[in-house]
Amino acid sequence: MDLDASVGSLFLGYTVSLCLYGITLSQIALFLHNHRNSSKKLKLIVWFIFIFESAQTVAISQGIWAYAVSGHAEPEVLARPTRSFGVVVYLTTVNNFFVRSVYAYRMYILRGRRPFLSLIVVALSLTVAVLAIIYGTQGVRRLPWSEGRSLSGVFYAGYSCELMSDVIITTTIVYIFARKTIRRNTFAQVLVAYALNSGLLVMICVVCSTISYITLPSSFAFLAFYLALGKLYANSLLGALNARDLIFPRASKDVPPTTAPLLTSVVVLECDDEIMTEVNESGVQTPSDELRSISQLPLARSTADGNITRGLITFQTLVRAVG
């Protein structure tokens, strides 16, 4: 077995998986910080994802350790999967099924409680779960990779069902959003953000893993993509939860957004102290005219996400002050 195509691919997949796990932790921290008043159900969903993603990362690390450290200079150990990779398949299967079920419920609510497409997604997800458990048993029983090729039909069927469910989820939610969109100037930005959060990257990963399994049968390239797949599912759902106020702004204009805006940034300007303050007759520093004018400006609607903000006016006024 080619070490570059096996251990090298595995390390690349492991590195990407760790990076995505870091993003997952950031998304979870962002959600818990900005959504302290969210329902217990949403918080349970987030904590469930955290537990399974952490357990999956530990199992992946143990499998890499078995190959790279315990089996160092013993290429024959690569002929069989470690039990940890079988556990990874089980954990990823449960986590992915959970995420797709949440999406199916969202579709059910957004489509006016019409269950047809949601039931299809759940049925496909159950099929994927059963096939994945069958394939993952190969790792738990430590069957050689060569014997695992006899389960290639299970592999193809599982990924086909997975891809179909992801296509249904992504196209349905984006279509629902497109029907609700009124302002055309923000359509492209928000549509791209929501498509990414709804599973587009997951579909690309599934396709790449399938192509690798077919074209590189003696490598672990397909496994490298699979290690990142579960993390992409988790980040897909967490990203959608954190972007809710951007996609569907709050009905109340007086409530500030509680989620971090996507595709936007904060600009901090440095300027001289005399621009920021001025000294009155008593020798006390007070805000300058420029800053007082900022505080007296009426609220303006942001062209980025429809939330109420002073950001654009503040930025323009400060630029004039610095100039």
Q: Which domain holds residue 314?
A: 273-322
Q: 228 with 288, same domain?
A: no
Q: Do 242 and 301 reside in the same domain of the chain? A: no
Query: What torsion do the CA atoms of 276, 280, 282, 286 make, to the nearest 10 degrees?
Result: -30
225 and 96 within one domain: yes
- The whole-angstrom separation of Cα 238 and Cα 21 is 12
Q: Is residue 259 part of a domain?
A: no
> Which residues lie below 8 Å from residue 95, measured CB to CB, with a gap of 6+?
49, 52, 53, 56, 230, 233, 234
Does the residue 243 lie in any domain? Answer: yes
Structural domains in the chain (count): 2
CATH number of domain containing 169? 1.20.1070
**pLDDT for residue 289:** 47
**Residue 261 belongs to a domain:** no
Please report the pLDDT score of residue 193 as a whole number. 64
For 3-38, the pLDDT digits (tens) are 666 788 889 999 999 999 999 999 999 999 988 888
Largest CA distance in the chain: 88
| Residues 78 and 198 grouped into a single domain | yes
Query: Do 103 and 229 reside in the same domain of the chain?
Result: yes
Give the DSSP letter string of 42-58: HHHHHHHHHHHHHHHHH
Same domain, 64 and 153: yes
Q: Is residue 262 part of a domain?
A: no
Examine residue 265 and state whether it is found in any structural domain, yes or no. Answer: no
252 located within any domain: no
What's the pLDDT at 181? 58
The pLDDT assigned to 35 comes to 87
User: 110 and 72: one domain?
Assistant: yes
Q: Low-confidence residues of the chain, pLDDT below 70?
A: 1-5, 73, 140, 142, 148, 180-198, 244-323
Q: What integer pLDDT is reported at residue 75 of this predicted model?
A: 74
Whether residue 295 sits in one domain with residue 195: no
pLDDT value at residue 245: 58
Q: Are residues 173 and 302 in the same domain?
A: no
Residues 24 and 53 sit within 8 Å (Cβ to Cβ)? yes
Domain membership of residue 215 (yes or no) is yes
Residues 153 and 10 in one domain: yes
- Interstrand relation of 277-279 and 285-287 (parallel, antiparallel or unpaired): antiparallel
Statement to judge: residues 182 and 219 lie in one domain: yes
Domain assignment present for residue 93? The answer is: yes
- Using CA atoms, how far apart are residues 37 and 272, in angstroms rounded to an integer? 40
Any alpha helices (H) in the chain, and if so which ranges?
3, 9-34, 40-65, 83-110, 116-140, 145-148, 152-180, 187-195, 201-215, 221-242, 244-247, 273-276, 289-296, 311-322
Please tell me whether residues 40 and 121 are part of one structural domain: yes
